[in-house]
Amino acid sequence: MSLQVGVVIPAFNAADFIGQALDSVAAQTLQPAQVTVVNDGSTDNTSDIVRTWMKAHPGFPVALLEHYPNQGLSRTRNRAIEATFTELIATLDADDLFLPSHLERLTEPLVREPDIILAFGDTQEFSTNGDLPETFLTRVGGALRALEMTHRDGYSILGGPVFRSLLPGNYVPVSGMVFRRDAAMKAGLYDPGLTRVEDRDFILRMARIGPFAFCPVIAARKRIHPDNISGRKYHRLMAEGAFGVLIRARAWVKDGSLDDRQRVEEQLELAARELLYYASVTSVAALSSAATELRYHGFARLALQPWAWLRACWYHMADDQNRIGGDPS
């Protein structure tokens, strides 16, 4: 049995990286049948870089689509998937890189076992300073390692409560997975209502459709931008996203098992507390917005916790003092 694989690459202001990403796709030991790049309203010359790359690689199956104005990552990924007609799809962020055996290794479980809907490996995170000391799964893969697995030659089939294991956080890397297109369509693709952690939401819905396989290989390199993952605002936004994903999961599991419903509520409680904390250390306005959201979804007792408001006031006064004193931090 032979299945074709396509690669989808959403790109926004990716001129510095998109050429390298395409180079990594062209270097695959298993060549893709289709590569779809969607430029999501970039204000730089991302499209020009892609066109130049295409001219330098005549015959390589790359299609460039464009969104104007910017429509967000979920809609961009969805358009790329809808425009890709291979049975299997691999996603690649425009600033990441596939390692040469990525497609060959991750498509193997899907080719050999028709019931498997998604296969993934690990990713090596790196920055301008070089490789980070841990891989993605070394850092966040505890829930994966706790699952029972059925081992095959070259991969393992995940067993046990995979959906529940993903509720605390996603351990499937976006640039390190291959999935069946028809399963993704059945799952509803990426939620356009989410502007962050949309991958976590997508993987959770995929986990309710069919089994996953894990390949013990580093399949890709994930570029880390330190300026984009530091500071209170970033953590508050990620906490908002995580809470939103679990609110959606609460709706999905209304007709699910009691264990799934209980696990979602447990994780929602933790996510609500995390959102409250990061909102309180951001600003009084952020805390007020978070408290409104929590009350709406049944967490009024948390929203009224006095310590959160005291913390917000303390940080507000500290920030004012720093501004008056000229402290750049």
Residues 197-239 have pLDDT tens digits of: 899 999 999 999 999 999 999 999 999 876 555 556 678 888 9
Do 271 and 308 have their domain in common?
yes
Residues 313 and 169 in one domain: no
Number of domains the chain contains = 2
Are 106 and 121 spatial neighbours (Cβ–Cβ below 8 Å)?
yes
Asked if residues 104 and 119 have their Cβ atoms less than 8 Å apart, the reply is no
How far apart are the C-alpha atoms of 293 and 273, rounded to whole Å?
12
Final residue before a domain boundary, out of 196, 227, 258: 227
At 30, which amino acid appears? L
Residue 287: how many CA atoms within 13 Å on its side-chain side?
A: 24
Cα–Cα distance measured from residue 185 to residue 179, given in angstroms and rounded to the nearest whole number:
11
* Confidence at residue 325, expressed as pLDDT on a 0 to 100 scale: 52
Residue 322 clears pLDDT 60, i.e. is over it: no
Q: Which of 217, 216, 193, 191 is nearest to 204 (CA)?
A: 191
- pLDDT of 158-191, one tens digit each? 998 999 999 999 999 999 999 999 999 999 999 9
| CATH code, domain with 29 | 3.90.550.10
Structure tokens at 62: 């790359």
Range of the domain at 29: 5-227
Terminal Cα distance for the chain, rounded: 58
pLDDT tens-digit readout, 17-44 = 999 999 999 999 999 999 999 999 999 9
With residue 131 as reference, give the H or E element that holds it.
strand 130-135
Same-domain status, 221 and 259? no
- Look at residue 122 and tell me whether its pLDDT is greater than 80: yes
Cα–Cα dist 265/98, whole Å: 37
pLDDT at 329: 40
192 with 286, same domain?
no
Q: Between the CA of residue 65 and those of 24, 39, 250, what are the distances in Å?
A: 20, 6, 35
Tallying the residues shown for the chain, one arrives at 329
Task: Convert 94-112 to b/e letters by CB count within 10 Å (16 or more is b).
Answer: bbbbbbebbbebbbbbbee
Confidence category of residue 319, pLDDT binned at 50, 70, 90: low
Q: What is the pLDDT of residues 5-18, one digit of tens each?
A: 999 999 999 999 99
Determine which of 45-49, 80-84, 315-319 has the lowest per-residue pLDDT on average. 315-319
